[in-house]
Chains A and B, each alone.
Chain A
Amino acid sequence: MHIPDGFIDGKTAVVTAVISAVGVGFALRQVRRELPPRRVPLLGLAAAFLFAAQMVNFPVAGGTSGHLVGGTLVAALLGPSAAVVVVTTVLIVQCFLFQDGGVMALGANVFNMAILNSVIGYMIYRMVLQLFRRFGRDALPRVLVPQSGIGPTYDRGRVTAIAFAAWCATVLAAICCAGQLAWSGTIPWLVAFPAMATVHMFIGVGEGLISALVFLAVYRARPDLITETALTDQPQRLGELVRYGLLVTLGVAVFVAPFACSWPDGLDSVAEKFGFGHKMAAPLLPAPAPDYQMPGIHWAVGATAVAGAAGSLIVFVLALLMGRWLVPKPKDL
């Protein structure tokens, strides 16, 4: 999902850079405020860890292999603000040292992979975990749980939550990436959205599985490393999430909404209204009956949206089953 240079035009680059700069600046301030100085080197080490972890290839069927992307995992391990800083660092180093992702596209990449991925992943992780605490069969009074919340009882909820959150975050980041490419006039939305969303629905399954397994491995060996042991609702963190939420909503509203709210056929009128009709409509889907040049393409967009909704349900059930399967039922309570 690393966008290279030349794929993003001027206006998209400027808008993404501004939104990302605000987001990263806010994350840095937040980290400086809440992270004890003892843990400052951990940010750099976590970034190096993420880079090294991406070198471990997980075999997938048919001789191909995938690797961890990791925004949601780091957010669950270190908290959302630290995750934004860590993933941004990884992206900057990848851009300058390994030419993975462009310089002009850095803002877009930071928005998709560092901000959107980590923040959305963290929010969904928290939401599912709350759901488990309130309604799950594992919901027990805190007093009964050994070591004040760090026990086998929350493991299932955590595994389900992180797997589902990683899937959602991957798919959403891909959709946002498609929106930016379409806004730049590089690929039409009608092609970009189904392609990116479908591919990442499958990639996301792997990402969710790896994230959950890695999280469980860390959690079992060193539960004390995970910041949020008791999962209390700190008002401070809630405010932080609200501000990130506003930023992400703004980004999604700019990049995705103009396309999404207009399909299947109002696209051209919206494009005109926003003043980039000549870019979108003219060179890419040209004059003679543009709507019929690729039959079934509108159908593809609708089908992708439906598949996304169905997919998220299926993935949630899968994540639930995985939690049951990976974490044996606690017997000592």
Chain B
Amino acid sequence: MNRLVNRRIRLFLATLALVFGGLLVRATWLQTVRADALSSLAQIQHRETVTIPAGRGTLFDRSGLELALGEQATTVYADPMQITNPRRAALAVERTLGVNADQILPALANRTRGFVYVARQADPAQAAALQRLKLPGFGFYPEERRDYPQRSVAAQVLGYVGTDGNGLSGLELQFDHQLAGRPGKETITKDPSGQVIDVQNQIPEVPGRDVYLTLDHSIQANAEEVLRETVRKWAAKSASAIVLDPRTGAILAMAVQPGFNANSFPSTPSDLQRNRTVTDTYEPGSTFKLVTVAGALSERIVSPRTRFRLPYSLHVADRVIHDAEKRGIVNYSVAQILAHSSNIGAITLAEMLGRTRLSSWITKFGFGRTTGIDFPGESPGIVLPPDKWSGSTIGNVPIGQGIAVTPVQMAAAYAAIANRGVWSRPHLVDHVAGGARPSLNHRRLVSPKIAKQLMTMLKDVVAEGTGQFAAVPGYQVAGKTGTAQKPDSHGGYATGRYVASFVGIVPASRPRFVILVAVDEPRGAIWGGTVAAPAFQQIARFDLQYLEVPPDAASGK
């Protein structure tokens, strides 16, 4: 009996040993041979490395108002191989996200693909509504969407950000490195229901830095409104304006019309997206006479009172150049040459200067090279070196023909005269959060005495010359009109196509603003004094009132 029991026990023990042996072999197999494959399978099921997006920095105007900021959005994607009923899924997408079902259906039904975007940067509430339906094959992840709350205000200056969060144009591109930040990473462990139960390791995200601009949204919006009205009134092709603080070179407004809503940049023609004040050039016409006169005064060839006997027309090489209005021989002082915008007078001064000295003054004023403004794609303009001048060039360049400048170059040149002869680099960014203010780049162009003489002459232009429509009641205004024929593609000038411009300084006794207005191809009138000067006056009136600049005109008029 005992022997029988012992045998059974031994049998039982042997069976147990066999079972445990089998289990041991299986465990060894799983933990050695299959270990890597199973471990990675487990990691896929339970572990996930998630990228934590870094919030893009905000663009503020000088008053602290947000011009561009990041908003949370949800990107919805799908794995068509996991979608059981594509038709039903497409209808659910249409119902929740507003995406056309017929458009999305082919993508959802295409079982050869494992990933398709359903909606990039969708509204988080709409995406959550789709997520609640718990449809198989749909995935969601947070993404940032760029929002421009002021819509069209400074749209060309701010630029835009692509769907992947990279700056593609304007200040968004120029300061992309500072604005972008650095995304973080997080390895998480999830339970079977997808709930995070542990964070294995984490590299925190570094948010982008905020950028504070010199632009003022009120001044900018007003300038855009004035330009919109000007373009409408004169049926012009476009118009540009710059409002600049001559003391520092800070740009308060940089407006281009027609404009566009920055939030809908993908559907806007690229032509409208350009910040023409920096990227486009134009022949300045008479506003350029300032350089000729400044050169002649600085070289002590003439004084403001030096008089010239000026005929109506003049032969320069193979060309005949005349003044804008038919007249007889006049006896103008240098100041009157500028006030009446005499082409013959300016060419006479240029001939006295000579091509080399005139050319060096053009370079000194910053034409033919970029100003260094903190904006991408700045054009240096087109300035011929003196050795490439033809015989008639001396008859063109002094009056602003045969030369191409950008509006920002011209505004900076006038700002130098307003700032007692010291040129300051025009800039749009005051500072980047956490960084020092960029150093202001200054250089002297003319002596304070010459600058003062030029200011007096420019005041005469508005008081009794071609720029009388620029006068602002209560304030002394200095400025210069410009009317330039546009070049055509054959090397000549197009008939009936002009750029009317005005550059003004106000208040002339203690300059606070340099305002440039350029109107491209106005109809009905072409003169800078008629088309651009009134726009200058409207912009100046608003800005003076807005920044509470006291009047400086003695008569109060």
A, B: real partners: no
